[in-house]
Structure 1
Amino acid sequence: MELRHLRYFQAVAQEGSFTRAAARLHIAQPPLSRQIRQLEEELGVTLLERGSRSLKLTEAGRFLLEQSLQLTARLDEVVQGTQRLGRTERGWFGIGFVPSSLYGFVPELIRRLREADPRVEVGLAEMTTLPQIEALKAGRIDMGIGRILFDDPAIERRVLMAEPLVAALPLQHPLARRRRVGIAQLAAQPFVLYPARPRPNYADHVLGLFRAAGYAPRVVQEANELQTAIGLVAAGLGVTVVPASVQRLHRVDVAHVPIDAASFVSPVILSYRKDDRSPFLADAVGLAVQLAGAEAVGTAPGAGLLAQ
């Protein structure tokens, strides 16, 4: 299947007529009809019901139209972004981040980097730690912010801080009124685990902490998103463990209780290519270290690197 096949099919589906679609595409009608036939033969399905007066999409045709429009729209965005960068000679700096990092210093880091240099466009991609490593090596991003340590000879990894973990409990749960909660008490509760995939991820880190203490939580539900996991906790399905910065959500239906174990922390890890000598990356790493340090000691970020 080639991109032109999708473009031709979209035109026919949207116009409801081979004649109008051919005029829109500036090609003759017979070649257009052949292209659509070839597409149907390649897919092994009928996309259009051809009547005497008008064309009608089959169920498969409606699905292909909806999905292909999303694909070509994204492709158009990529092309426009490439052209924009080429015309303005702007650089591009990609950051991959795990969602749970957005409750700490990372939003301030992103804001400062986006304002740092008008010649550099900062792109953002939500992804867990392992895909970050792959994206770094492929050049799709330039910096990753994750929570799981992986050794790779091509990647430099720097632990910025060790963030305490807290228990997230339904507001009416008996443990919600405690000043601290023990590992054994947590392990005895129904547990909501996140993210479910892709693995390994933060979920494996949490399970490893329990195993190291001699316990195994009873997982009753898995969720892919942090917000979903917290919503399930609020609904009373179980408890979970979240980074302390997540308390900034200020949910009134969930209680956050410190865990009585110094080992229950989650690292915030910065990753980048070892061979990347970009001055912008060097400044970004310095700023991340500065902001993470301020976060760790509970002070407001200073005005240091890239503040202007």
Structure 2
Amino acid sequence: MELRHLRYFVAVAEALNLTRAAEKLFIAQPPLTRAIKQLEEEVGVELFIRKPRGLQLTTGGEYFLEQARQILNKVSGTINDTRRIAQHRKTLFSIGFVPSVFYGQLPFMVRRLRRNKNLEIVLHELKTREQVDALKAGKIDIGFGRVRIEDPDVEQTLLFDEPMIAAIPAGSPLTKRPPTLKDLSEWPMITFPSTPGPNFADMTQSLFHRYGLRVNVMQQVNDVQTALSLVASDMGFTLVPEQIRRVHREGVDYMPLDDHSITVPVIASRRKGENPNAVMRLANTILDELVENRLTGRYP
């Protein structure tokens, strides 16, 4: 399979017409038709349903389209990063992160690293599972997430446990006192992300199940910002890490939980067995300082 096959497929999937796709790609239709057929044979499934008035994506085709776009975007981003690094003769240091860890001290780490004029810092928003894959592929140098994932090629370090809090519609009866899990279980819940686990949504729902409580999940969304928007719309509550307090959203109140032992981890992931270079040693030094600030209550 070549990258051109993916580009051809995306063009056809977006146009749902071979003639229009061929015109967009500036190629003749017969070689485009052959390329799509070759791709289907290699993948082993039909990606399109042929109809008299055009094409329709199969279920497999819809999934393949999403993945093909991601692959092409990653290739394009890698090429651009490579050109930028070559032009400036800088060392590239790539960081993967889940959004909920970027409201605390991580931006200060990035800012400190950027003081080194010989460094080019690249950030990638990735789920923890994606961070592990990106580390193994060499796409990132360090990742920050919240989920434990066993992989022989990656080591994970617990930085600290962060209290969980509830984001609640402003004026709700739940804001009168720190709510218990039982209190919350009686209200609609919004979870994130909505992608396959293990993820933060699994962690929050398991809290209720651990105490024999049933939770009414009324909406699953992709990110914390959307979850907070739904909370502000009085659609329900959501559980978030404490550092999300820094996101000031009208219509949302943040409440500590009645049980202060309910926490969520912040985890750093690195390639296992790799001797840290000068940049990684610098990053580790900064990270140690930031973690110490967090553990001792000294916030920057």
* Residue number in structure 2 paired with 1:131: 130
Structure number with larger C-alpha Rg: 1
Query: For 1:47-126, what aligned pairs fall within 5 Å after superposition?
Result: 75-86=75-86, 88-113=88-113, 115-126=114-125
Q: Does residue 236 of structure 1 match 2:229?
A: no
Aligned counterparts of 2:90 and 2:24: Cα–Cα separation in 1: 43
Instruction: Give the TM-score taking structure 2 as reference length.
Output: 0.76
- Is the contact made by 1:163 and 1:296 (CA closer than 8 Å) also made in structure 2? no
Aligned counterparts of 2:70 and 2:180: Cα–Cα separation in 1: 48
Aligned counterparts of 2:200 and 2:128: Cα–Cα separation in 1: 9
Matched AA of 2:244: V
Stretches of structure 1 lacking an aligned partner (at least 5 in a row): 23-31, 46-57, 61-66, 302-308
- Is the contact made by 1:104 and 1:295 (CA closer than 8 Å) also made in structure 2? no
Instruction: Show CA shifts across 1:50-92 (max 9, x none).
Output: xxxxxxxx788xxxxxx99998676455334324434554322
**CA-atom RMSD in angstroms:** 3.6
Stretches of structure 2 lacking an aligned partner (at least 5 in a row): 13-18, 41-45, 49-53, 57-65
- Is the contact made by 2:164 and 2:239 (CA closer than 8 Å) also made in structure 1? yes
Aligned counterparts of 1:214 and 1:74: Cα–Cα separation in 2: 43
Q: Does residue 200 of structure 1 match 2:216?
A: no
Task: Using the TM superposition, give the Cα deviation of residue 40 of structure 1 relative to its aligned residue in structure 2, in angstroms.
Answer: 6.4
Is the partner of 2:222 in helix, strand or coil? coil
* Residue number in structure 1 paired with 2:16: none
User: CA 1:140–1:71 in 2, change beyond 3 Å: closer, same or farther?
Assistant: closer
Is the partner of 2:102 in helix, strand or coil? helix
- Is the contact made by 1:148 and 1:202 (CA closer than 8 Å) also made in structure 2? yes
* Residue number in structure 2 paired with 1:224: 222
Q: 82-91 vs 212-221, which deviates more?
A: 82-91
Name the % identity: 33
User: CA 1:263–1:213 in 2, change beyond 3 Å: closer, same or farther?
Assistant: farther
Matched AA of 1:150: I
User: CA 1:173–1:76 in 2, change beyond 3 Å: closer, same or farther?
Assistant: closer
Instruction: Give the TM-score taking structure 1 as reference length.
Output: 0.75
- Is the contact made by 1:209 and 1:263 (CA closer than 8 Å) also made in structure 2? no
Is the partner of 1:266 in helix, strand or coil? strand
Instruction: Show CA shifts across 1:169-218 (max 9, x none).
Output: 1112111232x111211122211111121311111221222233332322
Aligned counterparts of 2:124 and 2:30: Cα–Cα separation in 1: 40
